[in-house]
Amino acid sequence: MHLSPSPSIQMTDYHSRRLGLSFASVGAHLGWVYLGNELVFEFGQTENEENIRSKVADSIGIWIRNVSYLDPKSILTFSERGKELELFLVRLPEGEVPVFVLVLLEKGMELATRNWEDLSNQVLTFCATGISLREKNILDFETITEPIRKRMEKAFSGEIKTGVIAFFHLQDLSPFFKPMGVIKSQEILREVTATLHKETRDNEFNFQLNPRSYFLFCPGETLDGANNRFGSLYFPSKHLILDYKLKIFSIDAEVLADDAKFSSIFLENF
């Protein structure tokens, strides 16, 4: 089984093999995973690799803007070694960072919605556990921060003109992923998110940058108010109480308008 994870998404052999087996289980001759516009995982091989890479390079900007979640699109057909093959694209429900999967199947073969969803879960687990070990300069921060900036600008369009961003940087969870397995690893991440959801008020929103970094945007909140709210917050998960570092930043329209200031907040706390 040919597997090739990207060097920039340092992944354990366990998660790489789990994802490879997921592609094999749906009959894929080839399976590629894109995080943003970066190819982070390759399963299988094909003589038409360059044609596929060219297709992705020409189209990924359009896919990011227009392709809906879990709606497979046929994007390429060709013959190889006496077989008619068809390449499908599916976008996964990832949040703010685009995640795309390419799956090469024998022509006429279709994947049921349940199979797409199962494959989706394996891919997102791979990306989530791998992102926690990535170098900061690998991610396309504009892809992450631009939708966040627009939501914050909308929050400041009325009477409220200032607020805070609270960053929660958790302890490294990657040592737990391999012994606990995929399902329980996902449960840890869901419990962390659920804790933040409980703390999020109606006019606020939270976002997961990766398994270690989460933030909560609080329009109208002050530094003192945020410290009182979050200073004693804890993240229970199974039999663990997860350790974390908390950083709180003031934000206003001036910071949002300055690309360098705004991006640096996220880059420094990724």
What are the chain's domains? 3-136 (3.30.450.40), 140-268 (3.30.70.270)
Which range is most confident: 116-120, 127-131, 167-171, 235-239? 167-171
Band (138; pLDDT cuts 50, 70, 90): very low
What pLDDT does 5 receive? Answer: 60
Average pLDDT over residues 247-253: 93
**Roughly what angle, to the nearest 10 degrees, separates helices 113-131 and 13-25?**
160
Q: Which pLDDT band holds residue 161 (cuts at 50, 70, 90)? A: very high
**Where in 152-202 does DSSP place strands (E)?**
162-170
How far is it, in rounded angstroms, from Cα 192 to Cα 196?
7
Backbone angles phi, psi at 128, to 5 degrees: -65, -45
Q: Spell 220-232 as b/e; 16+ CB within 10 A means b.
A: bbeeeebeebbee
Residue 133 has pLDDT above 60, yes or no: no
Going by pLDDT thresholds of 50, 70 and 90, the confidence category of residue 136 is very low
Residue range 87-105: mean pLDDT, rounded: 83
Q: What is the pLDDT of residue 206?
A: 85
What average pLDDT does the segment 189-205 reach?
86
In the sheet with 99-106, reading across from the earlier edge strand, the strands are 3-5, 38-44, 30-35, 99-106, 83-91, 73-80
